[in-house]
Amino acid sequence: MGKRFAVVLKAYAWDDFVERQARRLETATGPGDFFVSIDETNGSVGPIPFANVERFTKVDLLRSGLADRFEKGSLLWWNPDYAHYQFLAGHDDYDYYVFVEYDALIQRSIAELVDWVARDHVDFVALPVRTPLKDWFWTPTHSQVYAPGELRGSLNCITVFSHRALVRMHARRMEMAADPTVRFWPIGEVFLPTEIECAGLTHRSLEEFGDVSGYDWYPPTLEEDLPGHAEATFLHPVLDPARYVATVLRSNPPLLSFVLPWSAMHRQLARVHSVDYMRMLPGEFRRRSRGAVAMRWRRVQPWLNSMREHPWAQLARFMKLPAHPKRHFGSPEAL
């Protein structure tokens, strides 16, 4: 339909796997313009063998006026849409923008997707969350920002924006950055679909355009298994062996399930050579051990705080007596 569109692969590191993902996406781009958008906050990633490469850092994002706010993780983990606005600033002349995370994949002509969006005058495409919003993890915290009736959620690893929708989302982030009454900063998975709805812009589900059976937060698809997913239009996450193992390990099943031959987790990891994941188990065990200790400490802290306010403790402060009497009056420690 003659609409100009840009397809943007969003990456945070560069290696052979990310390059292969970029090649796949470039092939699907067709008559559109293909770009790589790379976050170099942690340092330069070196040469990238594509004609159109956009490099930026956290400093660049904040210098543009975007808020240095996130409630968990990191700036771009909480606000992945910030990279969209950085791209828009340098490329304001497209009718449509297709943003794809490095671990997502579109296995159909993107030009056909854009034609469908343009024909139906759609402003935003993403996959709405499948969990009922009342049960969704992010709903309770975001009630500080959005009313229950207006809150929406979506998986944004693949998104399509009309020009006006992307401009509007950027404007809303900037408005919120200047508003001191915004006490809780909304995560991208809530912000985008909710603000699109509030703005009265047209939105559609990604599943209306193709198969999304392999498109979710979990489980991952191993890169070498892609031939078996040829019928899937959209996939996420697609991972190389190292990333695949790391993702499975962090899915929090019992560690013993990784080595028991009859466990479902062991069968899942059987797609990868055992050497590739057995060497990662000690580090995962240490991570979980630290997490378990921290969790138990958080549970104990309220009890310790309450003990400080025990009537004897209050009296002890007033009388300048020991705070724990039994340690001094007949306790084993005193003998």
Q: Same structural domain for residues 193 and 294?
A: no
Contact 220, 242 (CB under 8 A): no
Judgement on whether residues 162 and 309 belong to the same structural domain of the protein: no
β 154-162/124-128 pair status: antiparallel
**Alpha-carbon span 124 to 116, nearest angstrom:** 12
Length of the chain: 335
- CATH at residue 81: 3.90.550.10
Q: Are residues 291 and 192 in the same domain?
A: no
**Considering the domain boundaries, does residue 30 fall inside one?**
yes
Enumerate the β-bridge partners of residue 5: 96
Distance in angstroms (rounded) separating the CA atoms of residues 197 and 79: 18
Q: Are residues 191 and 309 in the same domain?
A: no
pTM given for the model = 0.82
Question: Does residue 170 belong to any structural domain of this protein?
Answer: yes
CA 229 to chain CA centroid, nearest Å: 23
Same domain, 183 and 308: no
Q: Please indicate, yes or no, if residue 236 is contained in any of the structural domains.
A: no
The residue from 195, 215, 235 where one domain ends is 215
| Neighbour-count burial of 118, counting CB atoms closer than 10 A to its CB (0-12 exposed, 13-18 middle, 19+ buried) | middle
Residue 154 contacts residue 195 (beta carbons within 8 Å): no
Same domain? For 307 and 204 the reply is: no
Answer yes or no: do 34 and 181 share one domain: yes
Question: Could you tell me if residue 75 is inside a domain?
Answer: yes
Strand order in the sheet with 5-11: 53-56, 33-39, 5-11, 96-101, 154-162, 124-128, 203-205
267 domain residue, yes or no: no
- The verdict on residue 61 lying in a domain is yes
Structural domain count of the chain: 2
Q: Is 17 within a domain? A: yes
H or E stretch covering 158: strand 154-162
Q: Are residues 128 and 47 in the same domain?
A: yes
Name residues of the chain where pLDDT drops below 70.
1, 252-259, 266, 273-281, 283-285, 287-301, 303-335
* Separation CA 70–CA 44 (nearest Å): 24
- Is there a single domain that holds both residue 297 and residue 161? no
Question: Which of residues 194, 215, 236 is at a domain's end?
Answer: 215
The H or E element that residue 286 is part of is helix 281-308
Identify the pLDDT of residue 279.
67
Same domain as 89, residue 209: yes
Contacts of 159 (CB under 8 A, 6+ apart): 98, 99, 124, 125, 126, 192
Do 290 and 207 belong to one domain?
A: no
Q: Is 5 helix (H, G, I), strand (E, B) or coil?
A: strand
Select from 169, 188, 215 the last residue of a domain. 215
Range of the domain at 298: 283-334
**Is residue 220 included in any domain, yes or no?**
no
Give alpha helix (H) positions in 79-221. 82-90, 110-119, 139-142, 163-177, 188-198
